[in-house]
Structures are given as C-alpha cells and as structure tokens.
Structure 1
Amino acid sequence: MKSRFLKPFTLSLALAVVATACAASASTPSPTSSASSTLSGSVLISGSSTIEPITALNAEKFNRDNPNVSIAVEGPGTGDGFKKFCAGETDISDASRRIKAAEAEACAAAGVSYVELEIAVDGISVLTGLDNDISCLAFKDLYALLGSESTGFTSWSDADDLAAELGSVVAPYPDVPLTITAPGEESGTYDTFISLALSPVAKARDTDKDARPDYVASPNDNVIIQGLSSTPTSLGWVGYAFYVANQNKVKALEIDGGEGCVFPSINTIQAGTYPLARSLYLYVNTAKAAEKPEVAAYVDFYLSPEGLRSVSEAAYIPLDSYDETVAAWNER
C-alpha cells in the first residue's frame, strides 16, 4: 500500500488536526463493524515495539465495551512478530516495515493469508546524550560511525579517517567515547534504518550493509533510551514517539539525507522531508478474522474514529487519509 504522508502545515494546526484526527467524515469510509458487548474470546498480537503503544492503547479502549475479550499485546520486534504470525501463532502482527519476501513466502507455505493495513507515519530518530556537541549527521557519518566498517571503533574520533574518505563535512569528530545502543536485527526499526541510512553508502562501497555487530542491542525501546541517556556521547536510534516521550533525557540529531540537515518533527515527518520517515502497519490473519468475531471487532475498532485517535494520542502521526486502509480491510 502506498505511503501517504500528510502535507506540512504549522505546528499549532498540526496539533489541532492530531487532536481530532480521523473524526467521521464523508471522505473516510468506516469499517464494517462487528463489535458487540457480548463478545468473548481472545486476540493475540505480536510484533513491532514501535507500534505496540498504539495497539495496546486500542486494546485498553476496546476492552471498556468488551470486557470478556482477552487481548494480549507484545513487542519483541517486527521480525520475531512475523515468525509467530506466519506460523499461525498470532492473529495480528504489528510491523514497522512492510513484510519481506521471505516472510510472505513463509506465510504462504503455512497457509496464512493476511491483509496489510497502513496505520501511521513515524520517523526514526537518531539520538545521543544531551551534552553532545554534535547536532547533525549525514548518511556518510552514520555509516562511518555505525556501519560495518566501523566495527571496533570505541571513540567518535576513531571514525575520522573513514569519514574523511567518505567526504564527511562533519568530521573530524570529538575524541570522546562512542557507546552505541540500538534495536537488534529482529526489529523493523533496525531494518528500516539500515535500508534508509546505511545501505546506500554500503552499496556504493560494495560492503556489508548491516550495522556493526559490536553494539548493545535491545528489542525494548525503553531499554535503548536508558542506555543512550546514561552516556553523554552515546549514539543510537528509536522511533519518533519514544524520542518525544524522553526528550528531557536524550538529544535528537538532525539528519542530512542529501538536501541539508532536517530535524525530526511532526511537520518534517508529515511532509516527507525528514530522511528517515517511514510507515507503520498492521497485518491481520484474514482466516482468523473470519473465524473469530473478536478479532474482526478489534480491527473494526482500530479503524474507527476513536481507534484512529490513538495514533496521535500515542504521539504518532496519522495518515492524511485512511480511505485505502479501510477499503483494504472491508474488501479482505
């Protein structure tokens, strides 16, 4: 499904729109409701820790009118979530990236059919300690500090020669400790960061596109924030909402994707000018949605005006239109 970023506008207007996001209107069809106060059963959800706050908030809201439905939400990472989903172990998979070909093949082999629903827009925030003097990094800098050729670097200045070779305008870097805490390979946030920031440089150099292996990896965004905030010259990345919730503890860096330094914000992510913007998704097992009324009812609620308000309430950014998302669900 094509990503649909909101057009930029002033922050005050953006917040006003966020506060009333997805109110019922003629331009956005409503999902066919299957909710009932007599519902019972269970909904099993796994996947991205990034989208988990939205999904968990909607589980809480849904349970107010459907207390007999047990909803389990966990966030081990997009990749691990798809493993469970394609094995038929879960009903819904949260994802901070689109399903990979190998994952889709695993689903097909297991007879798991699904519908992809785009839910929100997010921006990967590259973070450091509050007292770090660095303010902007280009993709070349991110590769010099975090790419496969930086393995073994323990100081920012260790990357100076590589950065100079790449043509960095930020280097030389300060001679301070480089401690990295970030998502692991099971994370969709890891995959998206590699794809957007590191892979283009690695491809040009014919090197491994993955991040250096010698960093502290965690599937838990709160653990990552804790690691980044504990060291003044740390480096790592998380979803935008986790930065917003912790901006008194960590500093977000501007990112230069080739057109100048851009700070992650509602406006820049909506406009698509922030180089690390991405979409967030739900994948729903269509057979289970047909067999289990509680699964269909939960997704109906998720795509209702109240459910979609959870996107902004959890500090994420709504799509400019949910027409395609709702149509995909109704046509499943």
Structure 2
Amino acid sequence: MKRWQLIGTTVVGASFLLGACGGSGGSGEGKDVEGEVKGDGSSTVGPIIEKLNEKFAQDFPNITVSSGTSGTGGGFEKFISGSTDFANASRPIKDEEKKKLEDKGIKYEEFKVAKDGVTIAVNKENDFVDELDKDQLKQIYSGEAKSWKDVNPEWPDKEIKAFSPDQSHGTYDFFTEEVMDDGDIKAEKNADTNVIVSSVQDNKQGIGYFGYNFYEQNKDKLKAVKIKGDSEAKEPTKKSIQNGSYALSRDLYVYANEKKLKDNKAFQEFIGFILDDKGKAAEDAGYVALPEKTYKEQQDNLKDITGGDSKEKSSKEEEK
C-alpha cells in the first residue's frame, strides 16, 4: 500500500503527504510502526524530502510524513511555534531563531542532508557573460550596475534584468550574506523559484540565482555562469560543489525537535532513513551527497539522542 498525494502546482507553498517508515534511527520494525511526522521549510530541500519519501512509502505504509515548502524562514516559524517536528533549511539556523527556540524551551538537533551550489544563470542567448566574481554580482544585485556595460566595459550597453528569491528563502539569506555583505538586494523578487527560472528564460538580459537542481532541470534553457572565488572561476558541478571549490557551495539541513525525536518512534525512523540513504535521494533530486563519513557520524549522533536501537533498548530495560 502506497499513499502519496502532492498538493499544489508550484514548488513554494506545495505540500506532500506520504505514508512511510524505515531506517536504523528507530526500531527497524518497519510496517509495525505507526505514526505521523510533520515538517516544513526550504523549497530547495523539498525535492530531496520528496525523493526520500517516495522510497520510504514503498515498504512502510503506516507512517504519514507531511512536508510543506513555505521557505526556510517560514519553516523555522512553524518549527518555533511547535506545530512541526522538523524544519528543512537551505542555510544554518540564525541566532534570533535559536533565541526564540530557547525562549520556548525547545531543544533541536541539526542534521546535514546534502550539499548544494547556488547557481547563477543567465539567458541561454547571452553570449558575453561567461564568468563573474562576487564584486560584480554585488554590483548587479545592489542596483549599482544598471547595464551590462557597467559591469564590464566590453559588454553591451543593455539594461540588466535581475531576478531573486524573496526574503522567505534561505537562498536569499545565503546570497545576502555571501555576496551582498548583508546589503539590500534590488531585483525583482518572487517566492516561487520556478517563476525566477522562467523569468531568466524569457528575458534576454536576465540573470537569476537558485539551487543547483533548478538549474539541472532547466539547463537546456539556461546558461550557468562560472563564479570566481578566492581562486580560479568554477562552474557548479557535482564535483566542485562537493569539494567546495565552487564559490557558492553550501550545506542543506534538516532541524529536528529533540523531544519529539526522543518520544516519537515514527520520527526516529524517518530521520534514520534520511541518514541511511547517504545522499542517494539528494543525488536523484539533482543535488550532491555529502561525504559518507558525515552521514555515519550523524547516524551515531542519532543513536545517542534516541538511546540507540529501540529493540536493544527494550531488551536492556527488561533485563533490569
């Protein structure tokens, strides 16, 4: 029995429900485990969770996992309110979010699930922008550069059409910190990443940024730009993202409510399954797996949090 319902037609604001269970983080009892797990957050991480749940639901129909994609900021708001068990994030948790959780008495655990490279893309017909450095990106997204000629005197005097995720996205926060030095982004903003992709496709002078998998899904219609960091300019590839040589590489996260993780066997199974997968679902979704040792370290951490395998724990308690 497989239950899978995808609600909504856009990536942002969509929510998917799947019956699922599995993984070594919990009891390993599989079909005997029942329960419900709720999450929300990053539309970048969303496709990874969806791929995981496709696998999850095939064998274990008795746990329902629901996950919305209201953006990293929106996901943390729900996590802080206590209405969700986990929050998906495309950036690390902020100090003010930590403080709000502390004020509510909510402890959390951070799990890294994959790596991503924020991809800078221009229109496919753009034949002059092959690479940019962070200073040039800042010129474009601060509004200082109005035309391509302002960025590079050898480029045409044509008005730049810059597109950006809105403030609900962790990608926006990441770009603001990494490129803008926390300055304002002056661009056409949208909550729906698919709209940003389409806008770049439809505007010959367009430029936009988004998670790597959005580029992968549309690379026949977009042109990825090499980004110069501390060393030579690199384009986003699975290799350059994983080894960090691509200047806009980042980690992707799932934050779990510690108490709910300890109390909810279904939740233990879900997180255990994510870590057991070792990034295969992330690769299927167009992202990049972390080094295997990272997943192993987090599996050990999960066992410490939950008291190890539930069956082993029960046996030890019976012996006392």
Task: Return the TM-score normalized by structure 1.
Answer: 0.79
1:171–1:266 Cα change, 3 Å: farther
Partner residue of 2:71 out of 47, 72, 77: 77
- Whichever residue aligns with residue 41 of structure 2, its letter is G
Kindly indicate whether the alpha-carbon contact (under 8 Å) linking 2:35 and 2:63 is maintained by their aligned counterparts in 1: yes
1:32–1:70 Cα change, 3 Å: closer
Partner residue of 2:43 out of 49, 54, 59: 49
Partner Cα distance (1:84, 1:173) in 2: 46
Following superposition, the deviation at residue 193 of structure 1 comes to 1.4
Q: Deviations 1:179-228 (Å, cap 9, x if unpaired)?
A: 222211111111111221221xxxxxxxx62312xx32223222221111
1:103 aligns with 2:97: yes
Partner Cα distance (2:38, 2:213) in 1: 24
Which structure would you say has the larger RCO, counting Cα contacts within 8 Å and 6 or more residues apart?
1
Partner Cα distance (2:211, 2:153) in 1: 26
Q: Name the counterpart of 1:156.
A: 148
1:184 aligns with 2:175: no
1:210 aligns with 2:202: no
Q: Deviations 1:269-319 (Å, cap 9, x if unpaired)?
A: 1221111011111101111122322111111111113x6321211121111
Task: Give unmatched runs, 5+ long, in structure 1.
Answer: 1-28, 164-169, 200-207
1:218–1:38 Cα change, 3 Å: farther
Kindly indicate whether the alpha-carbon contact (under 8 Å) linking 2:226 and 2:234 is maintained by their aligned counterparts in 1: yes
- Whichever residue aligns with residue 63 of structure 2, its letter is V
Paired residue secondary structure (1:98): coil
1:242 aligns with 2:206: no
Partner Cα distance (2:261, 2:24) in 1: 17
1:312 aligns with 2:294: no
Partner Cα distance (2:159, 2:38) in 1: 42
Paired residues for 1:55-134 under 5 Å: 55-133=49-127, 134=129
Q: Name the counterpart of 1:166.
A: none
1:326 aligns with 2:299: yes
Q: Name the counterpart of 2:9.
A: none
1:137 aligns with 2:132: yes
Paired residue secondary structure (1:37): helix
Task: Please identify runs of 4+ aligned residues in structure 1 that moved more than 6 A.
Answer: none
- Whichever residue aligns with residue 64 of structure 1, its letter is Q
Partner Cα distance (1:248, 1:118) in 2: 30
Among the aligned pairs, what percent are the same residue? 32
Kindly indicate whether the alpha-carbon contact (under 8 Å) linking 2:279 and 2:288 is maintained by their aligned counterparts in 1: no
Paired residue secondary structure (1:272): coil
Following superposition, the deviation at residue 30 of structure 1 comes to 5.7
Deviates more, 1:307-316 or 1:52-61: 307-316
Paired residues for 1:272-287 under 5 Å: 272-287=244-259
Following superposition, the deviation at residue 67 of structure 1 comes to 1.7
Q: Name the counterpart of 1:259.
A: 231
Kindly indicate whether the alpha-carbon contact (under 8 Å) linking 2:24 and 2:276 is maintained by their aligned counterparts in 1: yes
For the aligned residues, what is the CA RMSD?
Answer: 2.0
Partner Cα distance (1:171, 1:247) in 2: 28
Kindly indicate whether the alpha-carbon contact (under 8 Å) linking 2:25 and 2:269 is maintained by their aligned counterparts in 1: no
Task: Return the TM-score normalized by structure 2.
Answer: 0.82
- Whichever residue aligns with residue 139 of structure 2, its letter is A
Q: Name the counterpart of 1:167.
A: none
Paired residues for 1:31-42 under 5 Å: 31-42=25-36
- Whichever residue aligns with residue 83 of structure 2, its letter is E
1:131–1:293 Cα change, 3 Å: same
Kindly indicate whether the alpha-carbon contact (under 8 Å) linking 2:122 and 2:205 is maintained by their aligned counterparts in 1: yes
Kindly indicate whether the alpha-carbon contact (under 8 Å) linking 2:26 and 2:265 is maintained by their aligned counterparts in 1: no
Kindly indicate whether the alpha-carbon contact (under 8 Å) linking 1:148 and 1:209 is maintained by their aligned counterparts in 2: no
- Whichever residue aligns with residue 186 of structure 1, its letter is S
